[in-house]
């Protein structure tokens, strides 16, 4: 069985602060994919980043960066210099093929 | 192609009524998925199609739920004899075979009163 845990329910920051979202996952598969999605109030799930289990290289993409550590089964996500438009629910998800298992989400509120 | 389209966006129905939702995937995608999301939770997998074949159904999909994808294009999700517990956001997504991530639609929010 696959499980994703997002321990942070809500995070509130002031604009321009950095925000780090935690994600811990459980899987018995050796090959899997990890994702972060954003869900603004409109409801659509927006794909942000994807990593496969063989690539632990951490990268930065614009204001987004991630820290993937297989040893601790964690896949944390950081928004640098947050903006009001970043306010949304963020979901971490795990997949071994076609099926995504989502965490419960973290609500991020960025105040001006 | 403007992405995955779902209709209607909102549906309010009385308990016991039947409802049907439609999903139009990205035309090149051969896989189509349905998820359900209740308030404060992440989406949960319901079922998926590869072309017109329904390959997996979650145990969340009771016998009151049925999904079809005729001709491997659009899909419909029908809920018969709706119950208040069916109130949720129903999300559709599509992808290519050889999983590289989904594109999700905006969802259909169902409220059963």
* pLDDT (tens digit per residue) in A84-93: 999 999 999 9
- Considering only CB atoms, A100 lies closest to which of B45, B56, B100, namely B45
Residues of chain B contacting A35 with CB distance shorter than 8 Å: 101
pLDDT number for residue B43: 96
Residues of chain B contacting A46 with CB distance shorter than 8 Å: 104
Taking residues B22-36, report their average pLDDT.
94
Is it true that the peptide bond before A91 is cis, omega within 30 degrees of 0?
no
pLDDT number for residue B100: 66
The sheet with strand B75-79 has its strands ordered as B5-7, B19-24, B75-79, B65-68
- Of the given ranges (A13-22, A54-63, B73-82), which has the lowest mean pLDDT? A54-63
Query: Which residue, among B39, B16, B31, B17, has the nearest Cα to B72 in the 3D structure?
Result: B31
Choose the mutation target among A52, A55, A100, A105 for the interface with B, i.e. most B CBs under 10 Å: A100
Taking residues A58-73, report their average pLDDT.
88
Taking residues A7-26, report their average pLDDT.
97
* Rounded distance between C-alpha atoms, residue B22 and residue B63, angstroms: 19
Taking residues B28-57, report their average pLDDT.
94
B109 in contact with chain A, both atoms CB, cutoff 8 A? yes
B96 in contact with chain A, both atoms CB, cutoff 8 A? no
* Rounded distance between C-alpha atoms, residue B9 and residue B27, angstroms: 20
Under the banding of pLDDT at 50, 70 and 90, the label for residue B1 is low
Tokens of B21: 């939702």
pLDDT number for residue A44: 87
Above 90 in pLDDT, residue B47?
yes
């Amino acid at each position: 069985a696959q499980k994703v845990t997002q321990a942070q329910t809500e995070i509130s920051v002031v604009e321009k602060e950095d925000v780090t979202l935690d994600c811990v996952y459980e899987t018995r598969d050796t090959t899997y994919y990890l994702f972060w999605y954003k869900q603004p109030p409109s409801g659509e799930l927006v794909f942000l980043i994807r990593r496969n289990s063989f690539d632990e290289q951490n990268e930065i993409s614009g204001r987004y960066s991630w820290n993937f550590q297989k040893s601790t089964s964690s896949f944390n996500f950081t928004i640098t210099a947050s903006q009001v438009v970043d306010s949304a629910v963020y979901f971490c998800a795990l997949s071994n093929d076609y099926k995504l298992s989502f965490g419960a989400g973290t609500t991020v509120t960025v105040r001006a | 192609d403007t992405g995955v389209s779902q209709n209607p966006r909102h549906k309010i129905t009385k308990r016991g009524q039947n409802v049907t939702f439609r999903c139009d995937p990205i035309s090149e995608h051969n896989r189509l998925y349905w998820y359900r999301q209740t308030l404060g939770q992440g989406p949960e997998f319901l079922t998926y199609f590869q072309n017109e074949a329904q390959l997996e159904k979650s145990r969340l999909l009771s016998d009151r739920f049925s999904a079809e994808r005729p001709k491997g294009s659009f899909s419909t999700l029908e809920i018969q004899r709706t119950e208040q517990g069916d109130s949720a956001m129903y999300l559709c997504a599509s992808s290519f075979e050889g999983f590289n991530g989904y594109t999700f639609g905006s969802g259909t929010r169902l409220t059963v009163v």
